[in-house]
Amino acid sequence: MPVITFSPMENELRKDYFLDRRVIIAVGRGKRPSDFKRDPAPEEDGKTCFFCPGNEEMTPAEISRVEEDGHWVIRVFPNKYPAVTTEEEEGSDELMPAYGYHEIVVENPAHSKSVSDLSIERISHVLSVYNERVEHMLSDPRVRYALVFKNHGRKAGASLSHTHTQIISTPVVPRLVKEEAEAVERYKTLNGSCPLCDAWKKEVGGPRKVWEDYHMAVFTPYASRSPMEAWIVPKRHVHDLGDLSDEERHSMASAFKLLLEKLRDGLNDPPYNLYFHVNPRGADLHLHVELLPRLSNWAGFELGSEIIINTMAPEDAAEFYRPE
Amino acid sequence: MPVITFSPMENELRKDYFLDRRVIIAVGRGKRPSDFKRDPAPEEDGKTCFFCPGNEEMTPAEISRVEEDGHWVIRVFPNKYPAVTTEEEEGSDELMPAYGYHEIVVENPAHSKSVSDLSIERISHVLSVYNERVEHMLSDPRVRYALVFKNHGRKAGASLSHTHTQIISTPVVPRLVKEEAEAVERYKTLNGSCPLCDAWKKEVGGPRKVWEDYHMAVFTPYASRSPMEAWIVPKRHVHDLGDLSDEERHSMASAFKLLLEKLRDGLNDPPYNLYFHVNPRGADLHLHVELLPRLSNWAGFELGSEIIINTMAPEDAAEFYRPE
């Protein structure tokens, strides 16, 4: 079979579904998914892992845990080196304390197991735990947003290899989330509909579709910022993880497992970041998850322009991710 | 002498001078400039360098050169793997050809010499060459912007080690530049002045001042996005490199040399990106240069929020850069 890419022009400038954010799909420098296959990760050194069972006293005081057969399987505690602070000093818009909470969710006790190795049921449970913590943080009126994100692999910023997710709350709505919420309003005024509802409906019928079931749509976004970027979007117009039914959460967990297994098996487990965009208070942002494998290096052009050069067409990435 | 940092709070949330862009200065995880000292760069392997004298036929056809004693000292040619294209297809806002020019400026024939090793006169000449190319690109009505940027070191995206600068023109005003130009207008309406004029005037009298002369101000920005970020701002409210007098250009070259020598000698030549923000047509953006050493790794939080966590206070960075 010939390789079909859906990029008729050599260097396309594509605009995001609703943000004023652009990428250059530079397939002339073109990469295929297999070009990103990495060497297997080196063996771990024998350092003590703070996140392993038996070392619980090495983390700050536990916030919550989920147990099975008398042992924890999911564990939540504050980050030992928080990026935010709960001191309540006064501030101005130019300078305020970075007020908030910074927590760690360890999704599984086994040191070398990644989220891709967990059962769909466990991943679904993990999603509930994320939501509990987000809701708890947002119950503090000084908190304006809570970002759930995962850094997987050293190149993606993970300083400890035992898989974990972080949640940081902020006293302002973050720039990107604010921009999304504002762009949603503009889009609604113009089109009378939600841009993410429109996006998934369009994408599940096209070359960037990865997977769908009754509840969830998975696709590689039209203006992907990195090779192998993928989004998980609930089909129902929901705002938060807490709005998901058990079935929808199970379906989102299946989507996670599909994407992360493909990366693990097809590309030897490359570094990635992923994050949840939940709705900021008072806005109408459609909940979604963005997965960004760290397979390229943003340099002076990206930093200075905030236009991203991506050397792989998302249509090729979708082909890679699609279940057989 | 005790180490004085000017960060009274442990985790500060700081807002940029005029953009709605925030950073967390997390000095609790705190780093001192010397923490970023790297091991000396490994020796070069013996591969043929396309940018060295004698290999001129390995680059695309030369656009221009500056000669001294019958040999080129500065050379300009198109990028062999352009991120943009000069094919003139039709497009829409969602999808258009990434129309434009992608050029390379090699600032010096010696393979291992960096910009920090050049004379102020040469750097000043190089700045004129950048400006010539930008003006040439902007003479094409389909070009809306031209970004001059340098990637230094592999971690900063340089694929070839022979020092060079790139210029990419785009058919849209890039997101960050557009945001700056719009923020300038808002700031002017509110304050009746230019935010960068106000910023340099304030900063040369404070703890983030690096250097100034009659023409130029150098400081570490209040809401620095990376350890050791530094800005060069002409004191006169000019828009473009072409607006600089010979004296001003000489002064900007001195600022470059100061910053890059400090990085080379004090931190063993770390990777960095730098770029010029010239004024987009019809706007009123004050010309400035932003230097971003690549001493931290943006991960899930930064990508998902566009709030940057910076582990070093810019006040400490300024102390590092200041001439004795």
Task: Answer yes or no: do A34 and A180 share one domain.
Answer: yes
Answer yes or no: B71 catalytic: no
Distant-in-sequence, close-in-space partners of B236: CB < 8 Å, separation ≥ 6: B215, B243, B248
Give me the half-sphere count of Cα atoms (radius 13 Å) on the Cβ side of residue B124.
Answer: 13
Distant-in-sequence, close-in-space partners of B101: CB < 8 Å, separation ≥ 6: B78, B82, B84, B86, B137, B140, B143, B146, B167, B168, B169
The boundaries of the domain holding residue A165 are: 56-170
Contact B305 A174 (CB under 8 A): yes
Which are the catalytic amino acids of A? 164
In this prediction, residue A4 has a pLDDT band, given cuts at 50, 70 and 90, of very low
Q: What is the mean pLDDT of residues A255-260?
A: 98
B94 contact residues in A (CB cutoff 8 A) = 14-15, 222
Probe site for chain A from B10, B225, B301, B308 (most A CB atoms < 10 A):
B301
Task: Answer yes or no: do B183 and B316 share one domain.
Answer: yes
What's the CA gap between B146 and B102, in Å, rounded? 9
pLDDT at B271: 95
In a domain, B6, yes or no: no
Mean per-residue pLDDT of chain A:
91
Catalytic hit among B102, B152, B164, B286 = B164
Task: Answer yes or no: do A212 and A253 share one domain.
Answer: yes
Task: Answer yes or no: do A293 and A185 share one domain.
Answer: yes
Walk across the sheet containing B95-97 and list its strands: A308-310, A22-26, A11-15, B95-97
- CATH number, domain with residue A127: 3.30.428.10
Compare all CA atoms of chain A with the CA of B15 and give the residue at the minimum distance: A94
Compare all CA atoms of chain A with the CA of B90 and give the residue at the minimum distance: A9
Q: Which one has a higher pLDDT value, B283 or B2?
A: B283
Enumerate long-range contacts of A244-250, CB under 8 Å, 24 or more apart: A244/A127, A244/A287, A245/A215, A246/A124, A247/A214, A247/A215, A248/A215, A248/A216, A249/A124, A249/A127, A249/A128, A250/A120, A250/A121, A250/A124
In a domain, A204, yes or no: yes
8 A C-beta contact, residue A255 and residue A216: yes
8 A C-beta contact, residue B142 and residue B87: no
Q: Predicted ipTM?
A: 0.93
Q: How far is B265 from chain A (nearest CA, A)?
A: 22
pLDDT at B23: 86
8 A C-beta contact, residue A211 and residue A322: yes
pLDDT at A46: 66
pLDDT at B12: 81
In a domain, B212, yes or no: yes
What's the CA gap between B314 and B141, in Å, rounded? 40
Digit-coded pLDDT (tens) for A190-228: 999 999 999 999 999 999 999 999 999 999 999 999 999
Number of domains forming the structure of chain B = 2
Q: How far is A15 from chain B (nearest CA, A)?
A: 5
Task: Answer yes or no: do B296 and B195 share one domain.
Answer: yes
Task: Answer yes or no: do A158 and A286 share one domain.
Answer: no
A23 membership: H or E segment, kind and range: strand A22-26
Query: What distance lies between CA A235 and its chain's CA centroid?
Result: 17
A299 contact residues in B (CB cutoff 8 A) = 149, 151, 156-158, 273
Contact B15 A299 (CB under 8 A): no
Q: What is the mean pLDDT of residues A127-142?
A: 97
A306 contact residues in B (CB cutoff 8 A) = 174-176, 179
Probe site for chain B from A29, A163, A175 (most B CB atoms < 10 A):
A175
Which residue among A171, A275, A304 places its CB closest to the CB of B147? A304
DSSP letter (8 states) at residue A219: E
pLDDT at A3: 40
pLDDT surpasses 80 at A42: no
Compare all CA atoms of chain A with the CA of B294 and give the residue at the minimum distance: A299
What's the CA gap between B294 and B305, in Å, rounded? 19
Give how far Cα A247 sits from Cα of A117, A123, B146, Å: 21, 13, 50
The residue behind tokens 């609790």 is B28
What's the CA gap between B299 and A172, in Å, rounded? 19
What's the CA gap between B221 and B218, in Å, rounded? 9
In a domain, A303, yes or no: yes
Distant-in-sequence, close-in-space partners of A102: CB < 8 Å, separation ≥ 6: A78, A79, A82, A83, A84, A166, A167, A168, A169
pLDDT surpasses 70 at A59: yes
The pair phi, psi for residue A72, each rounded to 5°, is -75, 145
3-state secondary structure of A18: coil
8 A C-beta contact, residue B210 and residue B219: yes
Rg (C-alpha) for chain A, rounded Å, is 20
B28 contact residues in A (CB cutoff 8 A) = 81-82, 85
Digit-coded pLDDT (tens) for B196-224: 999 999 999 999 999 999 999 999 999 99
Which residue among B9, B156, B304 places its CB closest to the CB of A299? B156
pLDDT at A81: 87
In a domain, B264, yes or no: yes
B30 contact residues in A (CB cutoff 8 A) = none
Task: Answer yes or no: do B140 and B208 share one domain.
Answer: no
The residue behind tokens 């099975």 is A68
A149 contact residues in B (CB cutoff 8 A) = 299-301, 303-304
Task: Answer yes or no: do B98 and B118 share one domain.
Answer: yes
Give me the half-sphere count of Cα atoms (radius 13 Å) on the Cβ side of residue B57.
Answer: 1
Contact A150 B12 (CB under 8 A): no
Query: What distance lies between CA B221 and its chain's CA centroid?
Result: 13
In a domain, A226, yes or no: yes
In a domain, A50, yes or no: no
What's the CA gap between A209 and B63, in Å, rounded? 44
Residues in chain A: 324
Q: What is the mean pLDDT of residues A38-63?
A: 84
Contact B297 A168 (CB under 8 A): no
Q: How far is A94 from chain B (nearest CA, A)?
A: 5
Task: Answer yes or no: do A128 and A159 share one domain.
Answer: yes
Query: Looking at the DSSP assignment, which residues form a beta bridge with residue B151?
Result: B273
What's the CA gap between B221 and B203, in Å, rounded? 8
Q: How far is A272 from chain B (nearest CA, A)?
A: 8
Contact A24 B83 (CB under 8 A): yes
Tokens of A319: 């082909």
Q: What is the mean pLDDT of residues B118-124?
A: 97
pLDDT at B8: 53
Q: What is the mean pLDDT of residues B290-295?
A: 95
In this prediction, residue B9 has a pLDDT band, given cuts at 50, 70 and 90, of low
Which of A92, A96, A117, A97 shows the shortest CA–CA distance to A107? A117
Task: Answer yes or no: do B126 and B238 share one domain.
Answer: no
Instruction: Among B170, B197, B216, identify where a domain stops.
Output: B170
State how beta strands B22-26 and B308-310 pair.
Answer: parallel
Cα torsion angle, B309, B312, B317, B320, sign: negative
Task: Answer yes or no: do B134 and B191 share one domain.
Answer: no
In a domain, B96, yes or no: yes
What's the CA gap between B101 and A21, in Å, rounded? 20
Give me the half-sphere count of Cα atoms (radius 13 Å) on the Cβ side of residue A3.
Answer: 14
Q: How far is A70 from chain B (nearest CA, A)?
A: 33
Which of B229, B244, B242 shows the shortest CA–CA distance to B291? B229
Contact B303 A273 (CB under 8 A): yes
Q: Which residues of A148-182 are buried (b: 16+ CB within 10 A; e: fewer)?
A: bbbbbbebbbbeebbbbbbbbbbbbbbbbbbbbbe
Give how far Cα A137 sits from Cα of A92, A244, A255, A318, Å: 22, 19, 26, 35
Instruction: Among A139, A170, A201, identify where a domain stops.
Output: A170
Instruction: Among A140, A170, A200, identify where a domain stops.
Output: A170
Task: Answer yes or no: do A191 and A316 share one domain.
Answer: yes
Q: How far is A164 from chain B (nearest CA, A)?
A: 12
What's the CA gap between A11 and A26, in Å, rounded? 5
